[in-house]
Amino acid sequence: MCGIIGYTGSREAQPLLLEGLHRLEYRGYDSSGLATLSDGDLHLRKRAGRIQDLARHLHQNAAPGTTGISHTRWATHGPANDRNAHPHVSGDNRIAVVHNGVIENYAPLKRQLAGEGVVFHSDTDTEVVAQLIARRLPAEDSSQAAFIDAVARTLALLKGTYGLAVLSRRHPGLLLGARLGSPLVLGIGEGENFLASDPSALVGKTERVVYLQDHQMCVLTANDWHLLDGDRARVEAAVHTIEWDASDTDKGAFDHYMLKEIYEQPEAIENALRGRLVDSDATSHFGGLNLDTQQLRRAERIILTACGTSYHAALVGEYLFEEFARIPVEVEYASEFRYRNPPIDRNTIVIAVTQSGETADTLAALRESKRKGHPTLALCNVVGSSIARETDGGVYLHAGPEVGVASTKAFTNQVAVLAMLALYFGRMRHLSSLQGAQIIRELRAIPDAVRRALSCHDAVRAIAERYCHVANFLYLGRQYNYPVALEGALKLKEISYIHAEGYPAAEMKHGPIALVDKNTPSVFLLPRGAIFDKVMSNLEEVKARGGPIIAIAHEGDEDVAARADEVICVPDVPEYLQPIVSVVPLQLLAYHIALLRGCDVDKPRNLAKSVTVE
Ligand code: AGP
């Protein structure tokens, strides 16, 4: 999704804006640009392509000034080219705007403006906003109030979502922001202030942040800031402190963020477990559920709603809650759930599972559940994100910033947290203290099991070299490993662009087995479990048709080694925790195949780290 950085202070804005854009690169984009104010002029610089392309342009054409806004664009309206890159300016070059979100009624607004003689220079919805503001800005009134009024009256016309930063040539040093549905955060500095779409852009600049709420505007100058509500009344806001530091969002010794985050998984899981396993009561504990015990005891059903990788983690959660808490669970794609109108009884808890806390569909599904009066929780990795702030309560993943677009450590932390939640609910119901104590022991052993799983790296790299040219993959698993099959397929698809499908292994017979041939490898999740023999039968069915077989199996499993073409060994862990361990080789397999195919592992084409638009 698009990234926004704004600055006003005493330092030259350009280098700060560029550095902030680099920190937002991981979100995915196809063009970038900035605008600065100096000597009463707006200096606009923008380029399709990578930020390096913009930097080269700026090297020849610097943008002077100590106030500026900048943007990385993930195209929603109009192709990725120079003219559609942000910022967009009004025809009289007085107003510059950068925007994250979708203005759903931009077309009629654009037609009306064109009918009034406005000439447009881009295909974007954002340019309409710049034109509307300019036409509401009095020619002679350069007061702050007039600028705020022009922006506020424009916002009242818009339908859809926006995170906006706005500059006016007539208002040097002044930066306005507005938020509806797309995140925006203030960074409070000393003699300078920032605006960003994502706190990670502020790392190294300030640790003090203020999160805008929907319908709020913010007014920033070098030494002052304040928020306005929808009625333009000043509102108080809490100042939060970002816990991250710059090293968290650097690659360190790794070539890519994705590889760094794969290797961070043991420590990330330790952080997720820390302080949440209570030996004395043989259960888990969470500080932020904010639901009373009776609400939790009365829960007769749980709905887990999520997107993408988080949806796959939620599918593991379904098995966990049903096994440990004996609570019926439904897992819903958030994009579907938000528009359905399922009969949900009062004692249903809706849990959003998300890394970013900003996924538009998941946020909307959550809001719909709250509108119907359901208790809501969220598993989320980003402190202060929209979803984290809007649910009744929740559990932070403590995975640390996940920069690679392909989610890895967030998935394994989500499964670990879901296991702890299932334990918590289970111990409120029928799980014995002995059972609880055993689960706690098994959870504590998982970080080391993941460390051991990472030792498969060289074997996986060799397999990647043998299979990086194929056009299709199948991923097959059952029970707890069925979601892992889906996740392994998604990892491969999203970073190597190879077509891959995940299936319940037994489902092969109902059609997909027609895909099997010598050029279509099947990845089988085969750790020992209750239905290991059944999955082995599925493997035989594929083998009998000449399909190459890559098996994820327990260390020393000779049966699998005798039947599969390739075997990747993982440590033996309880079945309900296998997803955390068996996903590791699949993450590495996708990573190495993508590298061998020359793909941009951390910023795969067409993808964004946080999908903040529908
Ligand atoms: C997974 O690798 C992708 N990055 C994507 O599917 C992601 O999981 C999905 O967009 C949900 O994001 P969230 O967890 O931040 O809500």
CA-nearest residue, atom 10 of ligand 1: 308
408 Cβ closer than 6 Å to some ligand 1 atom:
no
- Candidates 118, 121, 72, 135; CA nearest to 99 is 72
Q: What's the rounded Cα separation, in Å, for the pair 133 and 166?
A: 9
pLDDT digits (tens, 9 = 90+) for 450-479: 999 999 999 999 999 999 999 999 999 999
Cα of 27 vs centre of ligand 1, distance in Å, is 11
For residue 219, the cross-strand partners are: 176, 226
Calculate the CA 394 to chain-centre distance: 17
CB proximity list for 397: less than 8 A, separation 6 or greater: 268, 272, 355, 379, 380, 381, 410, 413, 414, 417
- Percent of the chain with pLDDT strictly greater than 90: 77
- Of 14-28, 317-331, 395-409, minimum mean pLDDT range: 14-28
Across 15-29, 233-247, 528-542, which has the greatest mean pLDDT? 528-542
Tokens of 187: 């960074």
Determine the distance separating the centroid of ligand 1 and the alpha carbon of 438, expressed in angstroms: 32
CA 128 – CA 259 distance, rounded (Å): 41
Which atom of ligand 1 is found nearest the CA of 406?
A: 2
User: Roughly how many angstroms between the first and final C-alpha of the chain, as a whole number?
Assistant: 11
CA of 337 to the centre of ligand 1 (A): 16
pLDDT in tens, 31-57: 899 999 999 899 999 999 888 899 999
Q: Ligand 1, residues 611, 613, 614: which to mutate, most atoms within 8 A of Cβ?
A: 611
Atom of ligand 1 nearest to the CA of 609: 4
Closest CA to 138 of 126, 125, 153: 153
Q: How far is the CA of 354 from the centre of ligand 1 (A)?
A: 7
Ligand 1 touching residue 127 (CB < 6 A): no
Query: Distance between CA 474 and CA 550 in Å, rounded?
Result: 10
pLDDT for residue 521: 97
DSSP letters spanning 435-446: HHHHHHHHHHTH
| CB atoms closer than 10 angstroms to residue 501 | 17
The sign of the torsion formed by the CA atoms of 141, 142, 143, 147 equals: positive
Pocket test for ligand 1, best of 1, 256, 304, 310 (most atoms within 8 A of CB): 310
Token code pair at residue 238: 């809490």
Q: Do the strands 348-353 and 95-100 form a parallel or antiparallel pair, or are they unpaired?
A: unpaired
Q: Is the CB of 385 under 6 A from ligand 1?
A: no
261 CA to middle of ligand 1, Å? 15
For ligand 1, say whether the CB of 362 is within 6 Å of any of its atoms.
Answer: yes
Cα(387) to centroid(ligand 1), Å = 14
Residue type, 468: C
Q: How close is the Cα of 611 to the center of ligand 1, in Å?
A: 8
Q: How far is the CA of 3 from the centre of ligand 1 (A)?
A: 17
309 lines ligand 1 (CB under 6 A): yes
602 lines ligand 1 (CB under 6 A): no
Per the CB < 8 A criterion, the answer to whether 103 and 160 are in contact is: yes
Rounded to the nearest whole angstrom, what is the distance from the C-alpha of residue 153 to the centroid of ligand 1?
35
For residue 314 and ligand 1, the question of a CB distance below 6 A is answered with no
Token pair for 436: 């609880």
> Which residue minimizes the CA distance to atom 5 of ligand 1?
308
Nearest one of 97, 88, 102 to 158, comparing CA atoms:
102
CA diameter of the chain: 83
406 CB less than 6 Å from ligand 1? yes
Q: Is the CB of 307 under 6 A from ligand 1?
A: yes
Number of the ligand 1 atom closest to the C-alpha atom of 408: 2
Residues catalogued as catalytic: 2, 609
Residue 131 Cβ contacting ligand 1 at under 6 Å: no
- CA 356 to ligand 1: nearest atom: 15
Q: Please check the confidence at residue 438 and state whether its pLDDT lies above 80.
A: yes
Residue 2 has pLDDT above 80, yes or no: no
Interatomic CA distance for residues 269 and 445, integer angstroms:
10
Q: Whose CA is nearest to atom 16 of ligand 1?
A: 354
Query: If DSSP codes are grouped into helix, strand and coil, which group holds residue 131?
Result: helix
Q: What mean pLDDT is reported for the chain? A: 92
Give the pLDDT confidence score for residue 98 in this predicted structure.
96
Q: Is 221 in the pocket of ligand 1 (CB under 6 A)?
A: no
pLDDT > 70 fraction of the chain, expressed in percent and rounded: 98
308 lines ligand 1 (CB under 6 A): yes
Burial 572-608 (b: 16+ CB within 10 A, else e): bbbbbbbbbbbbbbbbbbbbbbbbeeebebbbbeebb
**pLDDT range class, residue 291, cuts 50, 70, 90:** confident
359 lines ligand 1 (CB under 6 A): yes
CA–CA dist 134, 94 (Å, integer)? 7
Our CA dihedral for 82, 88, 92, 95, rounded to 10 degrees, sits at -150
SS3 label, residue 336: helix
pLDDT band at 568 (very low <50, low <70, confident <90, very high): very high
pLDDT digits (tens, 9 = 90+) for 160-215: 889 999 999 999 999 999 999 888 999 999 999 999 998 888 888 898 999 999 89
Query: Which residue puts its alpha carbon closest to atom 7 of ligand 1?
Result: 308
Dihedral of CA atoms 148, 149, 154, 159 in degrees, nearest 10, equals 80
Q: Among 91-105, 268-282, 338-352, 495-509, name the one with the lowest average pLDDT.
A: 338-352
Q: What is the pTM of this model?
A: 0.77
Backbone angles phi, psi at 567, to 5 degrees: -130, 130
Q: How far apart are CA 498 and CA 489, in angstroms?
A: 9
Residue nearest to atom 9 of ligand 1 (CA): 308
Q: Is 489 in the pocket of ligand 1 (CB under 6 A)?
A: no
**Better-scored residue on pLDDT, 436 or 243:** 436
269-273: average pLDDT: 94
Closest to 133 measured CA to CA, from 176, 95, 172: 95
For residue 410, how far is its CA from the centre of ligand 1 (angstroms)?
Answer: 9
The mean pLDDT of 525-553, rounded to a whole number, is 93
